Structure 1
Amino acid sequence: MEWFRWQQNPWGQNILRGMDWDVTWLAVVAAGLFMVIHIVMYLWRWRRMAAPAVSEAALADPSIPERVLRHSLTSRLFHWSMAASMFVLLVTGFLPIIGVNFSWVTPHWIAGLVLTGAILFHIVHATFWKGLRWMWITLDDCRQGWLTLRQAVGLGGVEPDKPGKNPLENKLFHHVTSVATIATIATGLLMMVRVDTPFWTRNPYLLPDSTWGVMFVVHGAASIALIALIMVHIYFAVRPEKRWITWSMIRGWISRRQYLTHYDPARWPLTDSERRSEVRQ
């Protein structure tokens, strides 16, 4: 398997043309192997691990609403618009590679602009309304993550505390996906000058061939990484024991029991908006 594609220019020079698309299957196999290992570990060990107990007194606490807002309507609209645009990008980007021929360029760059707009909106919304501190990885996150890993592989030791709203694994996945998505968007926007749009006429000579080659490699590598990340994301979204999280991205809320079972109220203190009346029964 080759890692990169090369092409000769009119002067007989080899120029870089991007990632070899066989690498895509490596990402698919890696994601599939991760899922198989997770299923084996779950059946062998994790399904027998008892869920943290919640006292009846805590469940009767009137300060915690019956429904706790986990994702606002704004966050859900962003998530699903991003998911839809990314799905269109992957379909239009990779189906032609495996031989499915159709007019893919226009829907591809339109979906790219939609994704770009969604990401820019999310950056502003997260910075000024949600607060970036909830996604920072702290030393305590790392310590609790290490304790969780030891428990998961059967090494024992101190029981980890319940996490806050965003556990370490969620933060890590978010950051890795963000890097791949931003790399895809940044290179994709530059590559748009090579296609005709209603806004400009194509100019494939804006950058030298060597620079375009690097651009294609970064765009292809980030896109391939996103395939593996999305496969893993969907896998966890449909797992029975994780489905309550998926439902929270659809309807916005989790139950009081789910909140107390999976989260530490001291690490995720509810705000007024998370208690607001529109999410109460």
Structure 2
Amino acid sequence: MDLLTWGRNPWDQPILTHISWDLLWASLFAGLAFLAAHASYMLFSAHRKRRAEETDALEAARGDLPARIQRHSMPARLFHWVMAAAMFALLVTAFLPIAGIRFPWVVWHWTAGLVLTASILFHVVHTVVWLDFWSIWVGPRDLPELKAEALREFGHDVSGPRPGKYPLGNRLYHLAIVVTALTVVASGLFMMVRVRTPFFTRNPYLLGDSMWGLTYVAHGLAGVSLVGLVIAHVYFASRPEKWWITKSMVVGWITRRQYLEHHDPDRWAIDELPTPNPATSNSATSNS
């Protein structure tokens, strides 16, 4: 299987033109194979949430926590769903024509690309200004959590750290999406100058043949990678034991018990705790 496609310029010199579209089917197969392998593995997995009796004790001790705990703010949820719609639109308009389904896809494709670009810019500003920017990233500090989570997967009851707000798997997936999405956006914005748009004059000579080839290869590799990543994301969001996370991306909150079952309160501290009602406090004091 060839990974790249080549053409020839007017001087009969070989030039890189794109990736081989065999990689699309390879990515699709890899995504479906991962789905089947993980689903089979989960039949025997010990899973990772706290035991019921441990959660009961924590829930009794943490009565100060609200019944519903915000996991995703409204702006974060809007970003997620806008980005998801843009991603699906990009994949459909990119790969259906390759599969033989013909339609005027170019305008829809770059429009979806601009929506994706705008949503990412919004997300960066939102996370830097209003959220904890570093809480989603992966680093050496996560090695103890990785070790503890791996041992729990194999049924060991270990006292290592549990996830903060974002489990390690979520953060690793986020890193993969960051790399692929930024590659798609950066290469796609350059490629837009080769088509007619209302924003600037078409200029196919902005880059040389070799640089255009690398740009198209980067765009194609990121695109086919997104196929597998989207399959994995939809699969995990659809698994019954993950529905509580999926629901939180719709309604914005999780329950107190879900928070204590799956997270480490020391690593994801809830800032806004319910304040006692003065009237209730005074009444309780007088009754005592």
How big is the shift at 1:39? 1.2
- Provide the secondary structure at the position in 1 that maps to 2:179: helix
Instruction: Provide runs of 4+ in structure 1 moved above 4 Å.
Output: none
Deviation at 1:62, TM superposition (A): 3.5
- CA displacement at 1:133 relative to structure 2: 2.2
Distance (Å, rounded) in 1 between the aligned partners of 2:44 and 2:58: 34
1:160 shift after superposition? 3.5
**Contact kept? 2:187, 2:215, Cα under 8 Å:** yes
Check conservation: 2:73, 2:252, Cα contact below 8 A. yes
Listed one character per residue, the Cα deviations across residues 203-260 of structure 1 (whole Å, up to 9, x for unaligned) are 1111111100000000000111111111000000000110110000001000111011
Amino acid in structure 1 at the alignment position of 2:140: L
Query: How far apart in 1 are the matches of 2:58 and 2:172?
Result: 34
User: Which residue matches 1:255?
Assistant: 255
- Residues 161-180 of structure 1: CA deviation (Å, up to 9, x unaligned): 32110121111110111011
What is the aligned partner in structure 2 of residue 106 from structure 1?
A: 107
Q: Which residue is equivalent to 1:279? A: none
CA distance in 2, matches of 1:152, 1:73: 33
Range with greater deviation from structure 2 (105-114 or 133-142) = 133-142
Distance, in Å, in 2 between the alignment partners of 1:73 and 1:26 is: 37
In 2, the alpha carbon distance for the partners of 1:169 and 1:228 equals 16
Q: Measure how far apart 1:198 and its partner are.
A: 1.1
**Deviation sequence 1:97-137 (CA, Å, 0-9, x none):** 11111000001111111100000010111111102121232
1:254 counterpart letter in structure 2: I
Counterpart-to-counterpart distance in 2, 1:189 and 1:183: 10
SS in 2 for 1:237: helix
Map 1:33-44 to 2 at 5 A.
33-44=33-44
Post-superposition Cα deviations, 1:141-161, rounded to whole Å, max 9, x if no partner, equal 21111222233246x473543
* Residues matched between the structures, number: 273
TM-score, normalised to structure 1, is 0.91
Judge conservation of contact 1:195–1:202 (CA < 8 Å) in 2: yes
The one-letter amino acid paired with 1:214 is L
Q: CA deviation at 1:9?
A: 2.1
Tell me what 1:79 maps to.
80
8 Å Cα contact 1:67/1:255 also seen in 2: yes
Q: 1:57 to 1:135 in 2, by over 3 A?
A: closer
Mapped pair 1:23 → 2:23: yes
Change (3 A) 1:103 1:50: closer
Residue type of the alignment partner of 1:52 = R
Q: 1:259 to 1:11 in 2, by over 3 A?
A: same
Q: Which residue of 1 aligns with 2:229?
A: 229
Aligned-partner SS, 1:254: strand
Cα distance 1:57–1:150, how it changes in 2: closer, same or farther (>3 A)?
Answer: closer
- Paired residue for 2:283? none
- Residues in 1 aligned to 2:106 and 2:12: alpha-carbon distance in whole angstroms: 28
Partners of 2:177 and 2:125 in 1: CA distance:
18
Asked if the contact 1:35–1:232 (Cα under 8 Å) also holds between the matched residues in 2, the reply is yes
Give the corresponding residue for 1:200. Answer: 200
Counterpart CA distance in 2 for 1:67 and 1:59 is: 15
Task: Note if 1:63 corresponds to 2:61.
Answer: no
Matched AA of 2:16: L
Classify the secondary structure of the residue corresponding to 1:44.
Answer: coil
C-alpha distance in structure 2 between counterparts of 1:231 and 1:119, whole Å = 20
State how far apart, in whole Å, the 2-side matches of 1:62 and 1:147 are.
Answer: 27
State the identity %: 46
Task: Kindly provide the amino acid, as one letter, of the partner of residue 224 in structure 2.
Answer: I
Q: Which deviates more from structure 2 when the two are superposed, residues 16-25 or residues 36-45?
A: 36-45
SS at match of 2:98: helix
- Is residue 85–residue 114 contact of structure 1 (8 Å, CA) maintained in 2? yes
In the alignment, is the contact (CA less than 8 A) between 1:69 and 1:275 conserved in 2?
no
Whole-Å Cα distance in 1 between the matches of residues 45 and 195 of structure 2?
Answer: 52
Partner of 1:241: 241
Find the counterpart in structure 1 of residue 190 from structure 2: 190
For 1:41, the aligned partner's letter is: Y
Pairwise CA distance, 1:138: 4.1
Give, in angstroms, the shift of residue 44 of structure 1. Answer: 2.6
Displacement, 1:60? 6.8
Q: CA RMSD in A?
A: 2.0
Shift of 1:10: 2.4
Question: In structure 2, how many angstroms separate the alpha carbons of the residues matched to 1:21 and 1:191?
Answer: 18
- SS of aligned partner of 2:164: coil
**Is contact 1:68–1:254 with CA below 8 Å preserved after alignment?**
yes
Partner of 2:51: 52
Gaps of 5+ in 2: 276-288
**Secondary structure of 1:15's partner?**
strand
**Structure 1: stretches of 5+ with no match in the other structure:** 277-281
State the one-letter code of the partner of 1:21.
Answer: W
